[in-house]
Each structure stands twice: as C-alpha cells, then as structure tokens.
Amino acid sequence: MSSILVLVGLLVLAYLGSILVGGRAIRGYGLPSGAEWVLLGVVLGPHLLGVVERSTLALLEPVAQVALAWLALVIGVDYGFVGQRRISLRRLFAGVVLALGSGTGVAAAFAVYAQTFTGLRGHDLMVTCIGVGAVSCETTRYAVRWVVERYAAEGPLSSLVADMSEADDVIPLVAITLAFALVPTPGLKLSLPFWGVALSILGAGVLLGALASALLRVEARVTQTWGIVLGAALFGIGLATRLASSALGLLFALGITLSWLAGRRHELRAMLERTEHSVLLPVLVLAGAYVDFGAPSHLVPLVAVVLSARLAVKWTSGALLRLSRGGKRAGPLLGFGLLSSGGVAMGFGLAFAFRFPGEVGQTVLVVAAVVTLFGELVGPTSLRYALGRAGEIEAAPTSSRLGRRTSSRPPPRTA
Amino acid sequence: MSELEASKSVTARLTQVVTLVAVFGLLWLAVRVVPESHGMGQLIGALGFLLLAGTLASELCEIVGLPHLTGYLAAGVVAGPHVLHLIDQRTVERLSIVNTLALALIALAGGAELRVRDLRALVKSLASAMLFQSLIVLAAGTLTFVLLARFMPFAASLSASGVLAVGLLWGVLAVSRSPSATLAILSQTRAQGPVARFTLAFVMASDVVVLVMLAVAMMFARQLLDPASQASYQDFEALGHELLGSASLGTTLGILLMLYLRFVGTELLVVLMALGYGLTEGLHYLRFDPLLTFLIAGFVVENFSDQGRKLLHGVQQTSAIVFVVFFASAGAHLDIPLLRSLWPLALALAATRALATWVAHRMSSRLVSDPPVIRRWGWSGLVSQAGLTLGLSLAIARTFPSFGDPLRSLTIAVVAVNEVLGPVLFKLALDRSGETAPGPGFTPSSEPV
C-alpha cells in the first residue's frame, strides 16, 4: 500500500478522532479507552487481515513517533492540573506513589513469569520489566473523563479519581526514559552512564522548554506561538532520536517546563487539546496494527500473570484510596475502577516496540494491548459502580432525545 | 516598520538573539556528540530546528526591515550543508516532503486571493503586462544567454542554432516568477492595495502562461537542435490534457471545499493536509498540474461562495508555519559552492532579467496608463524566482539530457540570486507604496494552524 495513501488514511483517522473525542455533540460515544480502535488496528494489521502491510507500517514509524512524543508534550503541559484546577501536592504525590507501586508490582510479577517461561535474561529482562511496569501502572484519564462526563458525576470521589489518573503519568514517562537510556547510544562520543543519558534527555527537554517559554513571554501572536511550540517539539524529538533515547521523556519535560515558565498554560492547553484528540486515534490504530500476539513466548501465562498482578495492585491502590476522605464512600470496587488503560499505555507500548524490535518490544506492546482490552471490560463499569455508591451519579442513567445517556440527577447548584 | 515591530522591546530582541544562538548551539553540540545519525529522527529534528531558527531569524530581520522570508532563507543557509554542516545534504533532500504541502497551500491561498472584481479592474493592466513581460523578458533572456554562451563550458560544443535553442529555453525560465515568494511576502505584510493585487494576479496568471510558453519553446528547441526532426505536437497534446484536466478537477475540488466549509467547516488543518498530500499524489499520477488545480479550487471558493474568507484564514494560519520550513529548507538547499563558481554568470543573467522586467513593466504601464503606484512599483514583485523555475528546469533537463543538467545548475545559481534579492525588493516596494498593514495582527485563537 502506498505510504501517502496510508498517511491520508491516518489523517482521516485524525479527523475522526478530533470529531469523536473532541466534538461536543457526540462526546462520550465510543468505548471509554478507545479499545475499539486498538482492535481495528489489530484486525487491519499485518498479523491478521494484512490490509496494512508490515512495510507500510515501517514507513509510518516516524509519523507515529512524532505523534507519541506530541502526546507526551500535551501530558506535560497539562501535568498537575485537571482542567483549570490545580491538583494538590498531596494528591500528586499519592498518584505518583500509587503508580510507582502498581508498576513495580506488575513488573515484579512479570519478572517471575519471564524467568520461568521465557529466555529473557539480564539486560533484556530488565528493559522488558520496566516496559511492562510502565504500560501497566497508569489509569487512563480518557476513560475517567468519559465516565465522569457521560454520567455527569460530581463530588469528592470524581475529583479524587480524576486527580489520580492525571498524576500517575509521570511514572511511565520517566520509566521509558530510563529504559531507553539503558541501551548504549551508537556512535556517542561521550562516555555517560545510563542515568547520565536519561538526565541529559530530561535536561534537554527542560532547556528547550525554558527557551521556548522565554520566547513565548515576548511573543503574543498565535502563529508565532505555534511555530515556537511545534519547532521546539520537533527539534526535541530530533535530539532524542539522535541520542537513541526517549523523545517522550524529553517532550514531557519540555511540556512541564513550558507550563510552568511560559505563564500561558491555559492558552497552551487550549491550543494543544484539539491536536491531542486528532493524534490519539491514529496512535491507537497504529499501535493495534503493530501488535503481534504470536511474538511473546507462552501468551496465556503472560496474560494471566500480568492481569492477576494488575488486578491485585489496582485493588490495593483502591483500598488505599478508600482510606482518604474522597474515597471512603466508594465501596470495594474502586480499585477495579482504576483498571482502565488506553491511549497512553498503548502509546508507550508502541514506543517500546519501535525502540526494541523483537521479543522485548512486542512483549511490552502485547501487555499494553491486553491491559487496555481487559481494562475496558472492567474499569468503566467498576468506576461507575463506585461513583454511584458514593452518591455522585444516579445508579441508572436515562436516555436523552439524542440517545446520549445522562444522569437524571439535578445539576449542581452554582451559588 | 509596523507598530508591533517597533514596539518590540530590546529585551524581546535580546531574548530572540540568545535563543537563536542557543538553538544553534544545541544542534551543534548534538552533532558533535553523535556525529553519525541515521533514520527519520534527523529529518524531524531538522524540521524543528529550521522552524525555530527560521522563526527567530525572521523576527530579527524585522529590525532592519527585511522580509521574514530572508530570515528563513538565512537560517537554512547557515545551518545547511555548505556552511555549518548542522544539516547534511541527505536530510536537506528529504525535507522536500514539506514542499508538497507548501505548494498546495500556496496555490489555494493564491486562488482565494484572486477576486473577479479586482481582476476586472486590473484586466487591462494584466493583459498588457503579460504580453510585454512575456515577450521582452523572453527576448532579453534569450539574447543575454546567446551573448554569454561562450563563457559557459556546456555551450561550447553546441552549434549556433543549438545555442539559440538553449537560449530560448533559458528565456522561458526567465519569464517564470515565484508564487510562493509573492504569497509569503503578502502573508507577512498583509499588504492591501493596487501593487499587492496586481502582483498577485500577475504572478498567478503567469504560471499558466509560462507552461504554454515552455511547451512552444521545447518544440522549437527540438527543431533547432535537430533540424531533421519532425515537428511534434505531442507537447501541446500533453499540455492541453494537463490544463483542461487541472481546470476541471480544480473546479470540482473548489465546489467540494465550498460545500465542506459551508456545512462542516471544522478541522480545516487536517482536511488541508489530507488534500495537500493525498490529492497531489493523485494529480501527479494523472499528470495534472497540482499548482493550477489548487489555484482554481481556491479561486472557485472565493468567487462563487461566501466561504472564501474562511478558507483563506485557514490556509494562512497553516501556511504561516509551512512557509518557514519551506523557505528555510530552500535556504539549506542553496548550492553555495555552485553559486561561488557561477556567480559572475548568475549575476549577469539575474541583472539582465531584472532590467528586462523593469523595462517591460514601464512600457506596458505607459501603454495602458496604469495608476502611478503600479507604474512605479509593479515590477518589484516580478523579480523573485524559486521552486516553480527549478521545477521547469528539471522538466527541461529530462527532455534535453545533453545539456539539461548544466543548464539546471546555472538556473539554480540564478534562482539563488533572485530568491534572496527578489523578496527584499518586493517588501521594500510594498512598504514604500504604503500598502503594508500597520501590524501583523494579533488574533488570539486556539485553532491549530
């Protein structure tokens, strides 16, 4: 298939993504995590129907890498906020710690599986463990937003879950940066330890962010603003790729720095939000097309181990959250409500598949896909149950004239 | 100088200078630390670098009143393979992927800028200018080439009629202008007035005229190079197919765009990108001219609906970024060593062309009694040359392989001169004629560009 044709196909998907995810009229339709697009990719990809060939996927790799890094930039710009509201430091810390715990728990379980069933050892094993932990630790904010918006949920638990789903993104991004830095950069003229490479990448992101912020402080025109942000982002991707390191980590650092230093977070967020919608859908489809379920040895035990571990760590996270003021009325299924996974996990899995072609990358991507599909089945329903139990949504939503399901609860008082 | 330009503080300018140096420094360091880099990462990094450095350099050009385009070109030249070697030749070649989108947007914007009521008012001026410019520049270009042929090694082996044939082709190349440079300057200055309207309409229309002239010139050149050959009308047949096909497809596209803008109107960026890449590929396959197709589509939207402003706004928002990369990569592409070796010839040919353009304009303006402002400055926008001329030279090189490549090298050198000096001249003319908008317009919007 011609690469231009596929590029146009991706643009059509971007268009659809923007309409479906961002369009006010039909926001909340489709599956919460976008898992149907992952499935579409799997079906169209070279491992099933073969509509999109392996060679075409290879041609699109740079586009996909830019899209992934762009998502990291958007996450960075928005990090620490839910909409206009700043997440408190305590919740930010809690979100980070829970994500770290979840990732470590699943990675440890995977390590046991890998020692038993696979030939992965040493360096490869460590990279794969980090990857599996990275794609398993987060709760996708898209699913949380979907449930909260669709059922018009409002209250302490909604706010708590939204905060957790936003705060946990930092862990996989740092993990990816470390994992990529573990592999020596070919042709590097400096002798740097892996943490030195990782710090250089994050530092370059901060430096570029600071430079872009300085420019944005003296430049008010919209087109110039776009030139600066897009230029800094692409330049950052180029630098990271040259060092064979993670562009996602660099752009995340760039995004956070921009958000802090430019003094125009709301404007930047508004600019980038629409592109996020456009980028997400093609990423999900491409990631799906890359998934090769035949690549990891012993798929069934892998799925069983990863899902059991994730269920356990998320249930524990939920139990811990129930100790807090916002979560105490949530009921026992709160932890399962945090199981939703989607765009970000698939994106990170795809980044691993690009960087480590073969068993390492494919195992991480397969885990991301499994976690996303399973999370879709359990996460939103459990979250809805928890929110209902906390009294933040009606138990049985009604259907509106357009078919959109909305809560029958009266709107909150604004005064 | 505009109010906004003037109001930019010293701190702002210093910030831009420091950032520009830092961006160059960062790439320099990366290239030193990892000298060998393969894959598309280099291309993506180069795109980002050129976008940042081009934007900053163009801001600094404002201080001395130079057009942004000069800043874009300068950033590319300095970072390119012939000066600092921060972007290698292979990456520069791969940057041409941006050109596809850029040319589609340029043509769409060009078409949307052409309004029938403006054209009606200018029809006499345009017709006269087209006739004089085409004939006088063609004649002057051909004559100069024939006179200078003895200084060109590749022309030494040609017979007198052969030199005339190549001279004729050179003459046609001299008649071609640069729609991209014209639109880039108009987009930056947001100029409104007789000079801006005349230049835009002339440059866009001359695109079609040059295509016809090239077909005729190639037919004569074949005869002159090989008198025994039969006159072939195949070029005309192909040209007719190309022009009619492009016109009908452009009209259809215009109607579809019109309907889209009227009934949907969102996500114009994605739609334009899909059209730019997807449709251009299809047009190449059908052997239609993408520039003409998009030009007509823009023209149809502007003149047969009330959606022209919306289209133009969308295209301008997008093109503001695309122009930076387009011209910065053109700067990186400039073959400085070639220019160094051919500069006397290139300068002579460029100077003669500019002089012929000025003479032709004065004559045509006097004949149709153009308004004084057009009479004085109307020629200034016709000096720029860029991608269109290089595209035509490539077509000549393919048809006449015996001298096509050296002629193309000469064209590249002359285009380099015109590409650098032409926009400066045009911006100067717009400033002097008072058509430049007072400020670039700060319109906050969350719409992606």
pLDDT in tens, B276-305: 888 888 888 888 888 889 989 999 999 999
Tell me, yes or no, if B28 comes closer than 8 A to chain A by beta carbon. no
Q: Do A278 and B445 touch (CB under 8 A)?
A: no
Q: Do B48 and A231 touch (CB under 8 A)?
A: yes
User: How far A241 CA lies from chain B's nearest CA (Å)?
Assistant: 5
Domains and CATH numbers, chain B: 3-95 (no CATH), 99-432 (1.20.1530.20)
- Grouping H, G, I as helix, E, B as strand and the rest as coil, residue A191 is coil
User: Per the structure block, which two tokens stand in for A194?
Assistant: 């892996």
Tell me, yes or no, if B105 comes closer than 8 A to chain A by beta carbon. no
Q: Do A230 and B321 touch (CB under 8 A)?
A: yes
Q: Do B442 and A222 touch (CB under 8 A)?
A: yes
pLDDT in tens, A24-41: 434 455 677 778 888 888
Amino acid code (one letter) for B206: S
Mean pLDDT estimate for chain A = 85
User: Per the structure block, which two tokens stand in for B420?
Assistant: 């650098």
Tell me, yes or no, if A207 comes closer than 8 A to chain B by beta carbon. yes
pLDDT in tens, A352-370: 999 998 889 999 999 999 9
- Given a cut of 70, is residue B153 above it in pLDDT? yes
Residue ranges of A 278-297 with Cβ closer than 8 A to chain B: 278
In chain B, which residues have their Cβ closer than 8 Å to the Cβ of A230? 48, 51, 321
For A22-39, the DSSP string reads H-TTTTT-S-TT-HHHHH
User: Per the structure block, which two tokens stand in for A324?
Assistant: 């807090």
pLDDT at A394: 67
pLDDT in tens, A62-120: 888 889 999 999 999 999 998 888 999 999 999 999 999 999 999 999 999 999 888 88
For A96-144, the DSSP string reads HHHHHHHHHHHHHHHHHHHHHH----HHHHHHHHHHHHHHHS---HHHH
Q: Do B442 and A273 touch (CB under 8 A)?
A: no
Which residue from A minimizes the CA distance to B320? A223
ipTM field: 0.84
Q: Do B40 and A61 touch (CB under 8 A)?
A: yes
In chain B, which residues have their Cβ closer than 8 Å to the Cβ of A15? 267, 270-271, 274
Q: Do B52 and A267 touch (CB under 8 A)?
A: no
- Nearest by CB to residue A223, choosing from B45, B278, B321, is B321
**Cα distance between residue A160 and residue A325, in whole Å:** 9
Q: Do A215 and B40 touch (CB under 8 A)?
A: no
| B150 or A14, higher pLDDT | B150
Q: What is the pTM of this model?
A: 0.83
CA nearest B301: which of B263, B335, B251? B251
**Rounded percentage of chain A residues whose pLDDT exceeds 70:** 90
Task: Return all residues near A278 (Cβ < 8 A) that are at least 6 apart.
Answer: A14, A15, A17, A18, A22, B267, B270
- pLDDT grade for A305, boundaries at 50, 70 and 90: very high
